[in-house]
Amino acid sequence: MIGAKDQKGIPKVDEVNAFLGKGTTFEGKMTFEGIFRLDGKFEGEIFAGDSLIVGETGEVNAQIKVNALMVNGNVSGNIVANSRVEIYPPGRVVGDIKTPTLVISEGAIFEGNCQMQKKETRRDEKVSVLKVKGDEKEELEITEIETESGS
């Protein structure tokens, strides 16, 4: 099933939607849906709400903003991942990472700074304030209240 996710919300690796193969070079701005596997060379910007997999032969020099990133190749550039970043050998990342979860396997290389913050969940609630006089009820106003949940 396309778009199926594991328990952590990461799409399953065997369901790749797009692929840039070994020996392929691409330069520019890339956006995609689902899972994108990159085994060639890419330079530019990558923005997506889903997952990027950089294979062992992948070479990326880009600003990356994705939900999840798995690196087995070489990545240079700053990374923002809403869910997680995983670096596996012989993977190498040079640049700053901002993500709530970072996994670096033994033998993988990371050179840069990392900022890890627990993902904040916010919701807006509307509250009706009722004024009650005897049997009469009058709605005074609707107020938006921002609350934090999930500590």
Domain boundaries, the chain: 18-115
Contact 144, 137 (CB under 8 A): no
Compare 122 and 88 and report the one with higher pLDDT. Answer: 88
Q: What is the average per-residue pLDDT within 15-34?
A: 83
Compare 127 and 39 and report the one with higher pLDDT. Answer: 39
pLDDT at position 61 is: 96
C-alpha distances out from residue 83 to 86, 91, 138, Å? 10, 19, 45
pLDDT at position 108 is: 96
C-alpha distances out from residue 120 to 99, 123, 147, Å? 12, 10, 11
Compare 137 and 102 and report the one with higher pLDDT. Answer: 102
Contact 51, 69 (CB under 8 A): yes
pLDDT at position 24 is: 87
pLDDT at position 138 is: 58
- Render the burial of 76-108: b for 16+ CB within 10 Å, e for the rest: ebebbbebbbbbbeebbbebebbbeebebeeeb
pLDDT at position 147 is: 45
Q: What is the average per-residue pLDDT within 123-150?
A: 52
Number of alpha carbons in the 13 Å side-chain half-sphere of residue 12: 9
Q: Distance (Å, rounded) from C-alpha 12 to C-alpha 24? A: 24
> Does the structure show a pLDDT above 80 at 4?
no
Residue 92: strand pairing partners? 74, 109
Token pair in block for residue 109: 């290389």
42-46, 89-93, 128-132: least confident range: 128-132
Looking at the chain, how many residues does it have? 151
pLDDT at position 48 is: 87
